[in-house]
């Protein structure tokens, strides 16, 4: 399991870091250029005090610049989740875990850092109730999860 004392550390897989770097590059090139073009066009309409196109373009510019700063900070503080080779079969960040609730189908999830979490893609954060509950556990363990919807019990059927 990744241990870090750095509160600014952003836990990512190699793929997650690549996605952030790709988004950053796109925003710095294409995103900035598109906003610049929109601003130039809006300015050409004259009177900026009542120019909604200009206001919208300035808001988009602020959003893009804020996102660029956030991405740069995440990339700067990225800590890659590496498979240490030890504790095979123990749930850690980067593990694929199959969970099953009584009377329901089993579902496979990947435990990731909070930056990469995407429940629709079956990627759950190590900081989520389920993620926290399964960390350090092994196949055949049972875990109880306190979640906003109540207490749920899962069986860990597979860890890879």
Per-residue model confidence as pLDDT tens digits over 2-27: 444 467 788 888 888 999 999 999 99
From-to residues of CATH 3.10.50.30 in the chain: 96-159
Helix (H) or strand (E) holding 75: helix 52-76
Mean pLDDT of the 47-56 span: 85
Mean pLDDT of the 87-98 span: 85
pTM equals: 0.70
Answer whether residue 114 shows pLDDT above 90: no
Residue 3: predicted pLDDT: 43
Residue 49: predicted pLDDT: 80
Residue 94: predicted pLDDT: 86
Q: How many CB atoms lie within 10 A of CB 4?
A: 11
Q: Which tens digit of pLDDT belongs to each residue from 56-70?
A: 999 999 999 999 999
From-to residues of CATH 1.10.287.180 in the chain: 10-80
Domain 96-159 carries which CATH code?
3.10.50.30
| 10-80 under CATH 1.10.287.180, yes or no | yes
Answer whether residue 86 shows pLDDT above 70: no
Helix (H) or strand (E) holding 134: helix 129-134
């Amino acid at each position: 399991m990744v241990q870090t004392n750095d509160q600014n550390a952003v836990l990512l897989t190699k793929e997650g870091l690549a996605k952030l770097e790709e988004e950053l590059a796109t925003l710095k090139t294409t995103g900035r250029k598109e906003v610049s073009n929109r601003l130039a066009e809006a300015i050409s309409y004259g009177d900026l005090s009542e120019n909604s196109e200009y206001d919208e373009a300035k808001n988009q510019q602020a959003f893009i610049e804020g996102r660029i700063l956030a991405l740069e900070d995440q990339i700067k503080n990225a800590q890659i989740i590496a498979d240490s080779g030890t504790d095979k079969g123990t749930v850690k960040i980067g593990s694929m875990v199959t969970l099953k609730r009584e009377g329901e189908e089993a579902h496979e999830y990947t435990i990731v850092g909070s930056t990469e979490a995407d429940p629709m893609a079956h990627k759950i954060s190590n900081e989520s109730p389920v993620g926290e509950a399964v960390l350090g556990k092994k196949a055949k363990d049972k875990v109880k999860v306190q979640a906003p919807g109540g207490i749920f019990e899962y069986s860990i059927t597979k860890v890879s």
